[in-house]
Amino acid sequence: MMISCKKAAELMSGKLDGGLNGWQRFTLKVHLSLCSACGLVSKQFAWLQRMAELADDESAAAPRLVDENCDLSPQAAERIKRLMQDQRSSASPGA
């Protein structure tokens, strides 16, 4: 009944997403108690999960997973400002 390291990795991933049944949790636990390589993989997966959660900071909008130099282009900014201006003037005729 000993599962493979590949199967163990699939179960670890499923566990992080909360999708394991009792039997799967049990077989994973047994495997991890016997296999040090997978024990380390399990720790690394948990760390990866935590890091991804930390990627979004308090402002809810500044993901550290996007290049900090990744800005809205000046052309797009100008276009959007123009469209907003159009919308403003059509909303208040005579302004």
Partner 1 sequence: MPDVPSTESGSQPQPVVLPDSQTWVDEFGSILFRYAMLRVNDAQIAEELVQETFLAALKSRGNFQGKSSPATWFVAILKYKILDHFRGQPAVSHDQPALGKDPIVDGLFDFTLHYRLKPCAEPKDPADDAQKADFWRIFRRCLSALPENYRRAFVRVTVDGGATADVCKELKVSATNLSVLMYRARSRLRPCLEKNWLGAAGAEGAAE
Note the maximum CA span of the chain: 79
Residue 33 makes contact with partner 1 by CB under 8 A: no
Spell out the residues 6+ positions from residue 45 whose beta carbon is closer than 8 angstroms to its own.
9, 12, 13, 16
Distance CA 50, CA 3 (A): 26
Residue 70 makes contact with partner 1 by CB under 8 A: yes
Distance CA 11, CA 73 (A): 43
Quote the least distance from Cβ 12 to partner 1, whole Å: 8
Quote the least distance from Cβ 48 to partner 1, whole Å: 6
* Interface ranges with partner 1 (CB under 8 A): 4-7, 9-10, 13-14, 16-19, 37, 40-41, 43-56, 59-67, 70-73, 76-77, 79-81, 83-84, 87-88, 91-92, 95
